[in-house]
Structure 1
Amino acid sequence: MKKSLHTLLKLTNFELERLSKLLFTLMGLTLLINLVGYVYTPMQHMGKINEYIAQNSATPQQALDTFGRFSFYDVTQTLWIAGPIAIGVSGLLFYAVFIWYREWFGKNTFAYRLLMLPVSRMTLYFSKLITLFFGIFTLIATQMISLFIGYPIVSAIIESTYSAEIGLMESLRMNFLFIYLFPLEPGYFLVINGIGMILLLVLFTVILMERSFAVKGILLGIGYAVCSLSIVLFPLSLPDLLKNNYILYDSELMIIEIVLITIVGAVSLLLSRHLINKKITV
């Protein structure tokens, strides 16, 4: 047990070192693009107000009636904030595939050396899974830190006359993206992260199917992925399908989702264990 844990930590550290360049790049892009948004968006708003007042000899109240009050929520609605999140998600999804396939690149495939290590092959599997989740939560933490930095910047640029008295946390709660992305609502946060974990487990299973059965494995993998995600997402679509938003209480929906996530996750792990141990040979 102790030896397996030590090997898991070594493999995870090895994977983290390989991820580090991409992760630091995504973190840098997030902070840089966000910073531009924190400065450009409120300055653009103030520029419109000042131009309106100058051209129309208007009073501040007339400008306020025309453009309305500005809050940090308006900044969070722009691509300067949403864009880096989309880039981060896309980057890590790409890496979730690349983290497996790069092992087979080249003539002397590194995958065979890894699979021949005198440890359980699932140790290799879990090291890759832990690495991806480390990357996900690192980007979430980076975005949270960025927002705490951006709030006083925006507040300093927008004159108090034109500023809406909305705090940082209230601004984040008004944006549905951050309700799911950050632990503002623990229930939603756990469900979304559970679905994220299932997505990775299913993706790993699909990749191992392709590695095990080639073209046939691709078809099997696509079918498995569609079935798995349909099972997990079906309860969330029930209110829309039945046109009844009160068919399930939030607590009931959460319990159903947790059960389904657990089942799909367990099946994916068992399938992956079978494939990596029995079907992928060296």
Structure 2
Amino acid sequence: MKKFFMLSNEEIKRSFKLYLSILTMLVIVELTSVVYQVLHYQSKLEDLMKKERLTEMEAVDQLNGPLTFGDATNYFKYMIAIGIMFTILYAFQIWYRDWYGESKYIYRLLMLPGKRITILLSKLTTVLVFVCGFMGIQWITILLSRRLYEWLLPEHLQAASKIIGESAALNMLYTFNVIDTFVILALALFVITMVFLFVLTERSYQKGKALLTIAKDVALLIVPFIALRYLFDLTSILVPNQQVFVYLSFILIYFVYISWKCVRLLNHKVSI
């Protein structure tokens, strides 16, 4: 346990400045985008009133109604996409940086006493901590954005809406719901573990064999999913809720498989 906390702390310290810089940039862009959307809407409203000699409410109707909070936060979906991309890239980078450079940090890690699974868990924990931090900052940002929206825009020009338009996936991020948060973290854990498996496979075999092994592992995920979908569409043996249970069971089994394989590769294939 001491080794786990030591390695996790070291991993977080090594990446904290980069993480904080990217997170700060995303927050600044998101808040700035809300200010821009509100001011741009007001500018279009004033121009329309002057050019067409309309009343304010007539101009609002011409612009398809008041500015919704969903419209004001329209750029957030791009920032979230950037955050997801950064997380996936970081999951690759947290391993590959240890193999490069003069010191070859990975050799020091592999020679540490104790089980190698601790190395895997510390890196996985670090990425998940950053995911949790990103989600927490996004929650704070959306609350600040709401205040900005209400402060900058007169009340009669505001309109209630979902946070990010009609995107169910993005709105799930901002529900502050424990179940939704758990689902997001579970999905993040699955994707990060897949990335770790790809890295460890590439580091364990020659390029040709590594690519074939990765392709086989991806096929083990995709092919059964397609087969199940075809079976459920072709027959009516299960109701929708039961189908969801089957899908989730398969994902859980696959997650156990890739986790086991990551540990196996780290213990028996990756060497110094």
Deviations 1:243-273 (A, max 9, x none): 99xx743x43543343222211111111111
| Cα distance in structure 2, aligned partners of 1:265 and 1:199 | 10
Q: Aligned partners of 2:114 and 2:194: how far apart in 1?
A: 23
**Residue 184 (structure 1) shift:** 4.9
Provide the aligned C-alpha RMSD in A. 2.7
Paired letter, 2:250: L
Shift in CA distance, 152/230, structure 1 to aligned 2, threshold 3 Å: farther
- Kindly state the Cα deviation for residue 210 of structure 1 after the two structures are TM-superposed: 1.1
TM-score, length of structure 1 as denominator length: 0.85
Alignment partner, residue 269 of structure 1: 259
User: How far off its partner does 1:161 sit?
Assistant: 2.5
Q: 1:194 Cα deviation (Å)?
A: 2.4
Q: How does 1:161-240 map to 2 (within 5 A)?
A: 161-164=156-159, 166=160, 170-171=162-163, 174-184=166-176, 187-215=179-207, 216-228=209-221, 231=224, 234=226, 238=229
Alignment match, 2:87: 92
Partner residue in 1 for 2:71: 74
Deviation larger for 221-230 or 208-217: 221-230
Distance 1:173 1:255 in 2: 29
CA contact (8 A) 1:42 1:157 kept: yes
Aligned residues of 1:191 and 1:257 also touching (Cα < 8 A) = no
Residue 49 (structure 1) aligned to one of 33, 42, 45: 45
Confirm whether residue 123 of structure 1 aligns to residue 118 of structure 2: yes
TM value normalised by structure 2: 0.88
Q: Give the gaps of 5 or more residues in structure 1.
A: none
> 1:35 aligned to 2:31?
yes
Displacement, 1:189? Answer: 4.5
Percent of pairs with identical residues = 22
1:223/1:180 Cα in 2 relative to 1: closer, same or farther (>3 Å)?
A: farther
1:42 Cα deviation (Å)? 0.8
Say if 1:53 and 1:59, in contact at 8 Å, map to a contact too. yes
The equivalent position to 1:279 in structure 2, one of 265, 269, 272, is 269
CA contact (8 A) 1:212 1:275 kept: yes
1:20–1:49 Cα change, 3 Å: same
Which of 96, 101, 107 is residue 101 of structure 1 equivalent to? 96
Whole-angstrom distance in 1 between the partners of 2:234 and 2:46: 48
Q: Measure the CA separation in 1 of the matches of 2:193 and 2:109.
A: 20
Relative to 1, partners in 2 of residues 1:173 and 1:84: Cα closer, same or farther, differing over 3 Å?
closer
What does residue 141 of structure 1 align with?
Answer: 136
